[in-house]
Amino acid sequence: MNITGKPKLFIPGPTHVDEEILNAFTEYPVGHRTASFSELYDNLVSGIQKVLFTDNTIYLCTCTATGLWEAAVRNTVRKRCANFVCGAFSSRWHDSTVMCGLPADAIHVELGEAIKPELVDNTLATGKYDVMTYVHNETSTGVMNPLGEIAEIMKKYPDVMFLVDMVSSMSSVKIEVDELGIDVALASVQKGWALPPGFSICSVSNKTLDISAKCDNKGLYFDFLVLDKYAKRSQTPSTPSIPHMYGLKRQLERIFAEGLKNRFQRHSDLADLVRAWALDRMGLFPELGYESATLTCVENTKGIDITDFQDRLLHKGYMISGGYGPLKGKTFRISHMGDIMLTDIEELLSVMDETLNEMN
Ligand SMILES: Cc1ncc(COP(=O)(O)O)c(C=O)c1O
């Protein structure tokens, strides 16, 4: 059991939240139009810029990542959006683009496959699109798409806006936003940042702001120009979740105390360990070479009763996820992002082995 007396979360969001972070949430709020608030705001922005290797503007938003999906497309699409789809979340970004009334096409690959440079190149070469959306880590299939290779292709298309969902990779994997030329990088905080849900982060390029000025019908809450006006004063347009900001401040301190390099290495080591376990006991769902560094999607090659497996683990104080949508019964997912440590994973894997033996 967790410190809270609740099962420890090994699901890909919300992820495990450490006690120190929970405690930071209880700090007495400051007024959001005060100097103390702006000091807190600036502290967070400079920390996030370091984690994302960017000088781009950072917006702190009181919403989940789904809100920022809408923000990203509403502030950029004028011609047509290419939504690259490799699973449930990338598919939902496409749905949200269409539901915002914007012209868009979904460009699909099979579940378990990655979105590769050739597909992006061929799609953008049609000249039909001024925006593309790319989900770095497809949480439903456990595929980590080759962001660096795609960024190389994007250099051929400087007029196409490059919007990236890093919901389940931000802060866990090294992503150099400026080097990669990413126009909008977005994530909610209940994944790799390991905070409770309800808050999101995005970095936005100057190019995006220029385009946003030419976009109509952006609404108020997610208009980047409105967010930008307030960001320049180190404020948010409306009252933000100040407890999240205290939590994020504490988390950034912890991230820099661990060291970014060590943090990225820890995630890579955890992924190696879980993948080795999965390959030894069953199989991996994602195509070879594109397995996520933050969660492992195990293919149920032995045909175990996954619901029973999950229930037994839950009873012992560990929560893992089943397969998402059409992958229910076929896969299960183990998250190893955020504040999950080596000892946590070793303990989980050993309990999973013990539980599989009981089920035999
Ligand atoms: C890759 C990805 N994108 C977007 C989302 C939606 O995020 P939120 O629930 O914060 O709106 C999720 C949620 O799991 C996700 O995994």
Cβ-contact 130, 79 below 8 angstroms: yes
Q: Do 213 and 286 share a domain, yes or no?
A: no
- Dihedral-angle region of residue 217 (phi above 0 means left; psi in -120 to 50 means alpha; beta otherwise): left
Q: Is residue 354 domain-resident?
A: yes
Q: Do 185 and 139 share a domain, yes or no?
A: yes
Q: Do 245 and 289 share a domain, yes or no?
A: no
166 touches ligand 1 (CB under 6 Å): no
Q: Do 252 and 312 share a domain, yes or no?
A: no
Domain CATH for 298 = 3.90.1150.10
Cβ-contact 21, 193 below 8 angstroms: no
pLDDT at 306 (0 to 100):
98
Collapsing DSSP to helix, strand or coil, 303 comes out as coil
- Domain endpoint, select from 256, 291, 319: 256
Q: Do 289 and 239 share a domain, yes or no?
A: no
14 touches ligand 1 (CB under 6 Å): no
Q: Is residue 2 domain-resident?
A: no
Q: Do 300 and 244 share a domain, yes or no?
A: no
187 touches ligand 1 (CB under 6 Å): no
Between strands 200-204 and 283-284, the pairing is: unpaired
Residue 3 has pLDDT above 80, yes or no: no
Residues for the chain: how many in total? Answer: 360
Q: Ligand 1 centre from 321 Cα, in Å?
A: 14
Q: Is residue 226 domain-resident?
A: yes
Q: What is the mean pLDDT of residues 158-175?
A: 98
- Residues 16-64: tens digit of each pLDDT: 999 999 999 999 999 999 999 999 999 999 999 999 999 999 999 999 9
Q: Ligand 1 centre from 72 Cα, in Å?
A: 14
54 touches ligand 1 (CB under 6 Å): no
E strands in 156-225: 161-165, 184-188, 200-204
72 touches ligand 1 (CB under 6 Å): no
What is the number of domains present in the chain?
2
Q: Closest ligand 1 atom, CA of 187?
A: 10
Q: What is the mean pLDDT of residues 205-209?
A: 98
Q: Closest ligand 1 atom, CA of 67?
A: 11
Q: Ligand 1 centre from 145 Cα, in Å?
A: 15
Q: Which pair of tokens denotes residue 144?
A: 């980590």
294 touches ligand 1 (CB under 6 Å): no
Collapsing DSSP to helix, strand or coil, 170 comes out as strand
Q: Do 120 and 228 share a domain, yes or no?
A: yes
State how far Cα 344 lies from the chain centre.
21
Q: Which pair of tokens denotes residue 80?
A: 């047509």
Q: Which of 66, 138, 201 to mutate to test the pocket of ligand 1 (most atoms within 8 A of CB)?
A: 66
What domain range includes position 82? 19-256
Q: Is residue 3 domain-resident?
A: no
Cβ-contact 264, 173 below 8 angstroms: yes
- Residues 96-138: tens digit of each pLDDT: 999 999 999 999 999 999 999 999 999 999 999 999 999 999 9
Q: Ligand 1 centre from 167 Cα, in Å?
A: 6
Q: Is residue 240 domain-resident?
A: yes
134 touches ligand 1 (CB under 6 Å): no
Q: Do 23 and 138 share a domain, yes or no?
A: yes
Collapsing DSSP to helix, strand or coil, 287 comes out as coil
Q: Do 115 and 232 share a domain, yes or no?
A: yes
Question: Is residue 360 very low, low, confident or very high in pLDDT (cuts 50, 70, 90)?
Answer: confident
Collapsing DSSP to helix, strand or coil, 250 comes out as helix
Residue 2 has pLDDT above 90, yes or no: no
- Residues 214-264: tens digit of each pLDDT: 999 999 999 999 999 999 999 999 999 999 999 999 999 999 999 999 999
165 touches ligand 1 (CB under 6 Å): yes
- Residues 294-349: tens digit of each pLDDT: 999 999 999 999 999 999 999 999 999 999 999 999 999 999 999 999 999 999 99
70 touches ligand 1 (CB under 6 Å): no
Q: 185: exposed, middle or buried (C-beta count within 10 Å: 0-12, 13-18, 19+)?
A: buried
In angstroms, the CA 17 to CA 45 distance is 21
Q: Is residue 82 domain-resident?
A: yes
Q: Do 79 and 227 share a domain, yes or no?
A: yes
Q: Do 69 and 212 share a domain, yes or no?
A: yes
Q: Which of 91, 133, 139 to mutate to test the pocket of ligand 1 (most atoms within 8 A of CB)?
A: 139
Q: What is the mean pLDDT of residues 90-96?
A: 98
- Domain endpoint, select from 231, 256, 281: 256
Q: Is residue 316 domain-resident?
A: yes
- Domain endpoint, select from 223, 241, 256: 256
Question: Is residue 1 very low, low, confident or very high in pLDDT (cuts 50, 70, 90)?
Answer: low
Q: Is residue 211 domain-resident?
A: yes
- Residues 251-305: tens digit of each pLDDT: 999 999 999 999 999 999 999 999 999 999 999 999 999 999 999 999 999 999 9
pLDDT at 211 (0 to 100):
98
pLDDT at 5 (0 to 100):
84
Q: Do 97 and 203 share a domain, yes or no?
A: yes
Q: Ligand 1 centre from 71 Cα, in Å?
A: 14
Domain CATH for 151 = 3.40.640.10
Q: Ligand 1 centre from 124 Cα, in Å?
A: 25
Q: Ligand 1 centre from 166 Cα, in Å?
A: 9
Q: Ligand 1 centre from 354 Cα, in Å?
A: 32
91 touches ligand 1 (CB under 6 Å): no
